[in-house]
Amino acid sequence: MALRNPLLLAHSLATLDVISAGRIIIGVSAGHQYPYAPREFSACGVPYNERAGRLNESIQLIRRLWTEGAFAFAGRYFQFEELGVEPKPIQKPIPIWIAAGDNENALRRVARLGDGWFTVAHTAEQFAERRCKIDAFAGECGRAGKTIPSALFAAFHMSSDRARAEEEGWSLAERYFRQPRAKLSHLSAFFGTPEQCAQKLHAYIGAGLTSIVARLIAPDAKAQMRLFMNDLRPRLAAQFGSSRAIRGQEAGHRTHE
């Protein structure tokens, strides 16, 4: 979000919400810390060291544009005379989920501004620890008792053979990202049989996980989708508590060849 003009972004997302009949959820972050990130910010004319501040201001500004009429704004990063955007989104407002790892400033941002939390926590223990911090920070900023939903952004490659799934999954990931496995720490990898993936996910769900965003790493995405929906999803249904909760996971599939 920090790379984009918030006025144009608010207008585009509101239009998309109308087109989709109020079905969009957006995920934002301060920006990935990878080698080319500073170049991307520079190319867009945005100082890299301002990305967190711009994200905070943009979230608050965009929500006002979605819910208020015309107004003037004088922030640290954005200023304009009285104006507004149309159409307004169907949702009041569109949910904004914020990505955060173990950085406490990012976790505080989730607690203060987030409608939901995106994470790539590699273990259920990491997830639970960060979940507790978010809850504590939420109490500090007047949101005590509010349950902020969470989504694990996980990479899946499944097979009936665990060793094959692990080898193929990491090989495909290394090829796609052009990085060795040791440098793919941003992936929360679930490479194995559906049973093994379900067992690992049970611990996350027990710690409060409410959603799964599935990145399917496979040359045959449809085969992975069948394994996900027919073999993995039923093993999670009882713990999520309802078929409606499981249906909520269907929207998050991403495919990479």
Beta bridge partner(s), residue 73:
80
Show the tokens assigned to 245.
Answer: 């909760």
Compute the average pLDDT of residues 216-245: 84
> Quick check: 222 and 257 in contact, CB under 8 A?
no
The reported pLDDT for the residue numbered 238 is 81
Compute the average pLDDT of residues 78-101: 95
H/E stretch holding 18: helix 6-19
pTM of the shown model: 0.86
The contacts of residue 106 (CB under 8 Å, 6+ apart) are 29, 30, 52, 98, 99, 100
Type of residue at 241:
G
Label residue 252 by pLDDT band (50, 70, 90). Answer: very low
**Residue 67 and residue 94: Cα distance in Å, rounded?**
10
Looking at residue 47, what DSSP letter applies?
-
Q: What is the DSSP secondary-structure string of 145-212?
A: T----EEEEEEEEE-SSHHHHHHHHHHHHHHHHTS-GGG-TT--EEEE-HHHHHHHHHHHHHTT--EE
The reported pLDDT for the residue numbered 33 is 66
Query: Lowest mean pLDDT: which of 7-21, 22-36, 67-81, 242-256?
Result: 242-256
The contacts of residue 81 (CB under 8 Å, 6+ apart) are 72
> Quick check: 110 and 134 in contact, CB under 8 A?
yes
Looking at residue 48, what DSSP letter applies?
G
